[in-house]
Amino acid sequence: MIRLAFTFLPALFLVPLPTSLAFCQNRNVPKETLPPILTPWELTPTVGDNDAFPAYKVFGNVYYVGTQDYASFLVTSSEGHILINPDFEDSVDLIKAGVEKLGFHFGDIKVILISHAHGDHAAGVAKMKEMTGAQFMVMDGDVPAMEHPNPGRGGYPAARISRILHDNDEVKLGGNTLVAHLTPGHTKGNTTWTLKAAENGRTLNVVIIGSAGVNSAPSLVNNSNYPNIVEDYQNTFRVLKSLPCDVFLASHGKFYGMKQKYASLGQGPNPFVDPDGYKAHVKLMEQAFYYKLDWAIRQ
C-alpha cells in the first residue's frame, strides 16, 4: 500500500503573528520573497508508512505498537490497557500482532482513544472495537467525523462512541491517568494526550502530540466549515508550549524521529526522553503554520 505525503508549493513567510483572520486578510504584506518554512516530511513523498514495524517499550508502561509511521501506543495496566490510534483498518491486524509480540493480550484493551479523526489514525476504530469490545472515547469536536465519516475524504466505518471527551478531561484505567488536551486546527477535536510514566524510580511526563500540521494551506482562509481555524491553531501552539514534556511522542513517527531513536535504544540514555526535541518540533510547526497562512492570504 502506498500513501503519499502532502507537499506544499514554495511561498512567502511572515514573522508577525496575526490576531484574527480578518486582520490577516487586510494587512499589508512585504513584497520581498523570504525562504519558505516547510517540514522535512512535506518535502519528500513517503511510501510504506503502513507497513509493519517492531513493537517495543518506549518508557515505563508505554509501548509502541504502530506501523512504520502511523503511531499507535499501548498504555498497560493489570486491569486492562488503553490503545491510542488504531490507524487504518488494515493497520489493526499489525497492531494486534505487535501487542501480542510484547506478551499482552489484545482482548485486554479496554479503552480506545485517537489523536484526531483522520483515516490514518481513526479508520480502524470500528474494527478494533469489534475485536476487543473496548470503549471508544473521543474529543467533542471530532464526534461528527467519527459518527458520520465523510466519504469524499476516503471515508471509513462509523464508530459508536462510549464517551465524549472535553478539554482537560481525564481517562483513567488501572492506575493510569491520561489527560485529553484540546489542540484544534488540524481537526476540530485534535487531541494531545499527556500522562505520567514511571521506570527505575523515575516518573516522567509523556506527551503524545495529535498534530499541529496544516494539510491544506488554502483551508486557512475563508473556510466556511471552520471559520475560526486560525485562532484554533494559535491556541494550540499556546497549549503545546505550556505542557511539561520529558518523553516526546506524536501521531506520526516522523514527527519525533521515531525510527532513528528506535535504532539507538539500549545504546545509552533512552532517546525518547527528548524535551528539547519536543520544543523544537512545536517551534517548527508554528513557523510552518504562519508561512502557510501567509501563502494562503496572498493567493
* Domain locations in the chain as residue ranges: 21-298
163, 262, 295 from 27: Cα distances, Å: 43, 46, 13
Give start and end residues of each alpha helix (H) in the chain.
Answer: 21-26, 40-43, 92-101, 119-122, 125-132, 143-147, 229-242, 258-263, 275-298
The length of the chain, given as a count of residues: 299
Q: With contact defined as beta carbons under 8 Å apart, do 101 and 117 qualify?
A: no
Over its length of 299 residues, how does the chain's per-residue pLDDT go in tens digits?
334 333 333 333 333 434 334 434 434 444 444 456 767 777 666 678 999 999 999 999 999 999 999 999 999 999 999 999 999 999 999 999 999 999 999 999 999 999 999 999 999 999 999 999 999 999 999 999 999 887 655 578 999 999 999 999 999 999 999 999 999 999 999 999 999 999 999 999 999 999 999 988 899 999 999 999 999 999 999 999 999 999 999 999 999 999 999 999 999 999 999 999 999 999 999 989 988 888 888 77
Q: Give phi and psi for 2, each to the nearest 5.
A: -115, 130
Q: What is the pLDDT of residue 169?
A: 98
Q: What is the pLDDT of residue 22?
A: 42
Q: 21-298 adopts what CATH topology? A: Metallo-beta-lactamase; Chain A (3.60.15)
Q: Give phi and psi for 58, each to the nearest 5.
A: -90, -60
Q: What is the pLDDT of residue 19?
A: 37
Render pLDDT for 202-231 as a digit per residue (tens, 0 to 9): 999 999 999 999 988 899 999 999 999 999
Sign of the dihedral defined by the CA atoms of residues 287, 50, 188, 194, in that order: negative
Q: What is the pLDDT of residue 40?
A: 75
Q: Give phi and psi for 84, each to the nearest 5.
A: -105, 120
Residue type, 39: T
Q: What is the pLDDT of residue 14?
A: 36
